[in-house]
Chain A
Amino acid sequence: MNAFPASRHSAELFRWRTVDIVVVALLAVAFGVVFWAWGTYVWAWGSFLGPQTESLLTGVWLLPAVVCPLIVRRPGAALFGELVAAVVSALLGSYWGLDTLLSGLLQGAGAEVVFFVTMYRAWNPAVAILAAAGAGIGEATHDLIVSYPGIDYAGRAAIGAAEIVSAIVVVGIGGWLLVRALRQTGALQTFPSGA
């Protein structure tokens, strides 16, 4: 309906404009391609480092769950972005496809909870880091059940910790810097984050 900045003081908050939907979807598509390339070329080789070290590489999977909401600032953006990225990587032929939907759901929900608690009003680095940690917890829950169930407790604790640290560094700090860089180019003027 309107392609111009939305008011932040009304029910407008819950109404996604077309531009919000398409931008989140396109960013998620871009991240889905990154997922596919990362999973095929980096992660598959990194897995020889052993599960604890390899878990430090997992933050990349969580980028859409934090970057998309930071840009459009709409309820549900974390879940929508992460799920679309998961579907796209499945459509591209990621082997994990179906399982990616499951982990995408948990990761998106982990970040969404944090944004929900702030009532979708606070968009500072601290919230970005907390949301990244939330997504990391969702991811660790999935991975410890699906990929590493037989490993001893110390090993699993190390894997979970490594995934959450990776999430905080790559997605919390990295994602926030990425959005800041995008804002400085003026590309986000259509969104509340670019004002």
Chain B
Amino acid sequence: MSVLPAPLAPTRPAFLTRTTPAARLVAGTAWLVAAIVTLDPIVPARLFLAAIVALWLWSGLPLRRIPARLAPLGFAILSLTVFSILLSSANGDRSLATMAQIGPARITGPAISAGLAIGLRVVVIALTTLLVFGPSDPTRMADSLVQQWHVPDRFAYGTLAALRVAPFMAGDWATIGAARRLRGLAPRGPVARVREAGGRLLVMLVSAIRRAERLALAMDARGFDSGVRRTHFRELRTNWRDWLTIVLSFAVAAAALFVAR
């Protein structure tokens, strides 16, 4: 799919590429929870530093591509921070000193600190997501969820099969557009463009459903739904690296939350 960014895959083996995805999900959840339970900016600031260190030393991801990848997030962070400061409930508290006055809006210290905490929180979530999903591909994720968490295998591998079909949908989108132009359906003006996109989307979804039905039929023909117990081609077990990752991430989350300034 040309419009989609190329996946950020690890360029070298590293500590986290040898951990299982399920373990990274647990470890990442600890940071996610630590980042969202408090409005003190020091907590996400500490987690931000920890995430940078982990990305740098243990992820195996190409570090130079990360800033460009996260650039569009800048808008969301900026607006979340600014609006959190402007609309903060602390601004109405008359006992707090005014830090700044913008027209009718009065801004207090706690409002600024909470706004920074929310901006940093989003950065921590983005970096933690890279640490969890970056080091391995969807196939390993499915293997891991089925073998370690006993997610029903038909659902995990059925989803994986659907993921493999996804690139064809981009092709369908282009073909449908060409076919409509050939029929003289050239939209003019914004309303016509939206209607045109809606029509294309509907045809694309119909084609996706047809494809999924054929795929399901082919999978059933190979005994996908036979009910026979499935064995695993790639065996995954929770290893010492997983435990170390989980213990360290919980320790870092606890330290970020509870160590005094």
Please list the residues of chain A having a beta carbon within 8 angstroms of any beta carbon in chain B.
1, 3, 16-19, 21-23, 25-30, 33, 36-37, 40, 43-45, 47-48, 50-51, 54, 80, 84, 87-88, 90-99, 102, 145-153, 155, 178, 181-182, 185, 187-188, 190
Interface of A is mostly: helix
Partner of A151, one of B88, B208, B209, B211: B88
Q: How far is the CA of A92 from the CA of B7 in the complex (A)?
A: 7
CB–CB A44/B72 < 8 A: yes
Chain B, residues 17-32, CB within 8 Å of chain A (1/0): the string is 0000000000011001
Give the Cβ gap from B127 to chain A, nearest Cβ, in Å. 9
Chain B residue, CB-CB nearest to A31: B205
Partner of B211, one of A26, A91, A102: A26
Partner of A23, one of B28, B32, B70, B216: B216
CB–CB B89/A151 < 8 A: yes
What 3 pairs between A and B have smallest CB-CB spacing?
A97-B129, A25-B162, A150-B114
Chain B residues in 8 Å Cβ range of A98: 28-29, 32, 125, 128-129, 132-133
Q: How far is the CA of A185 from the CA of B217 in the complex (A)?
A: 21
Chain B residues in 8 Å Cβ range of A21: 154-155, 158-159, 216
Cβ-based interface call for B8 (8 A): yes
Chain B, residues 218-234, CB within 8 Å of chain A (1/0): the string is 01100011000000000
Give the Cβ gap from B48 to chain A, nearest Cβ, in Å. 14
Given contacts A19-B212, A19-B213, A188-B209, are A26 and B162 in contact (CB under 8 A)?
A: yes
CB–CB A36/B133 < 8 A: no
Chain B residue, CB-CB nearest to A147: B80
Q: How far is the CA of A148 from the CA of B36 in the complex (A)?
A: 11
Give the Cβ gap from B205 to chain A, nearest Cβ, in Å. 6
Chain B, residues 64-100, CB within 8 Å of chain A (1/0): the string is 0000011011011001100110011111100000000
Partner of A26, one of B72, B84, B165: B165
Partner of A17, one of B84, B128, B129, B225: B225
Q: How far is the CA of A149 from the CA of B89 in the complex (A)?
A: 9
Given contacts A3-B217, A44-B76, A187-B209, 12 further A-B contacts (CB under 8 A): A18-B158, A23-B209, A23-B216, A29-B162, A29-B165, A90-B133, A91-B138, A98-B29, A151-B88, A152-B89, A181-B202, A188-B209
Q: How far is the CA of A88 from the CA of B32 in the complex (A)?
A: 19
B120-177 with Cβ < 8 A to chain A: 121-122, 125-126, 128-130, 132-133, 138, 141, 154-155, 158-159, 161-163, 165-166, 169
Cβ-based interface call for B259 (8 A): no
Chain B residues in 8 Å Cβ range of A17: 216, 225
Chain A residues in 8 Å Cβ range of B75: 44-45, 47-48
Q: How far is the CA of A47 from the CA of B122 in the complex (A)?
A: 14
Q: Interface centre among A51, A98, A178, by most B CB within 10 Å? A: A98
Q: How far is the CA of A37 from the CA of B89 in the complex (A)?
A: 33
CB–CB B39/A150 < 8 A: yes
Given contacts A36-B4, A97-B133, are A16 and B84 in contact (CB under 8 A)?
A: no
Q: How far is the CA of A18 from the CA of B217 in the complex (A)?
A: 8
Chain B residues in 8 Å Cβ range of A94: 129
Cβ-based interface call for B1 (8 A): yes
B1-19 with Cβ < 8 A to chain A: 1, 3-5, 7-8
